[in-house]
Chain A
Amino acid sequence: DVKVTQSSRYLVKRTGEKVFLECVQDMDHENMFWYRQDPGLGLRLIYFSYDVKMKEKGDIPEGYSVSREKKERFSLILESASTNQTSMYLCASSGVRGYYNEQFFGPGTRLTVL
């Protein structure tokens, strides 16, 4: 059973703080993704990584950075949190072997920035 875990379910931070969101997968997947989900806007891709130390910007990378030092772990960093980064953050992973390569999601982190 694929398992994607995220470090926190709920997080409250103050404006200007540096925030770290951690994601770990146990299926040896090459690809990992960070999304944010807001009502009416759907899932928006922030960054993804297709290999250790490799990353690519998604649709909304501004204000975020990522780190992937190990294959199983993908971190999202908010350099200086702002109130407009209050959102649900979802991590996902997928493999490259096989045809479908479906994405499996973690439970999500609901971040509130005050």
Chain B
Amino acid sequence: QKEVEQNSGPLSVPEGAIASLNCTYSDRGSQSFFWYRQYSGKSPELIMFIYSNGDKEDGRFTAQLNKASQYVSLLIRDSQPSDSATYLCAVRETSGTYKYIFGTGTRLKVLA
């Protein structure tokens, strides 16, 4: 059974700090990795994707991928109360079906 694991949290950080969210996956052949943000009562929205080892930056967000260790992380710099949400990690299956495997999400709380 292919799995994507995340700590459910909540992860609490003060406003202005760096929030670090982590995700591990079981399928060593996985190629594409995604981070979604989901506000309470809303649907997930894509914020980052990454497929190469290393870092990918987009504004205050940085995705980090380490395929050898099978983990992907999301850093949020200068965290704002509006970043408080659940962050879902997703990995695209390698079977060519375009299916995703989602983690259960990490709840982030940014304290003002």
A interface residues, Cβ below 8 angstroms from B:
31, 33, 40-43, 45, 48, 50, 56, 58, 90, 94, 96, 99-108
Residue pair B43, A50 in contact (C-beta under 8 Å): no
Add 16 more A-B contacts to A31-B98, A108-B42 (CB < 8 A).
Answer: A33-B99, A41-B104, A42-B103, A43-B88, A45-B99, A48-B99, A56-B97, A90-B43, A90-B44, A94-B98, A100-B32, A100-B51, A101-B32, A102-B34, A102-B46, A107-B43
The answer to whether B77 has its CB under 8 Å from any CB of chain A is no
Main secondary structure, interface of B, reads loop
Asked if B46 and A50 sit within 8 Å, CB to CB, the answer is no
Alpha-carbon separation in the docked complex, A101 to B97 (Å): 11
List the B residue with the shortest CB-CB distance to A105: B43
Q: Are B102 and A104 in contact (CB under 8 A)?
A: no
Q: How far is the CB of A42 from the nearest CB of chain B, in Å?
A: 4
Which single residue of chain A is at the shortest CB-CB distance from B105?
A: A42
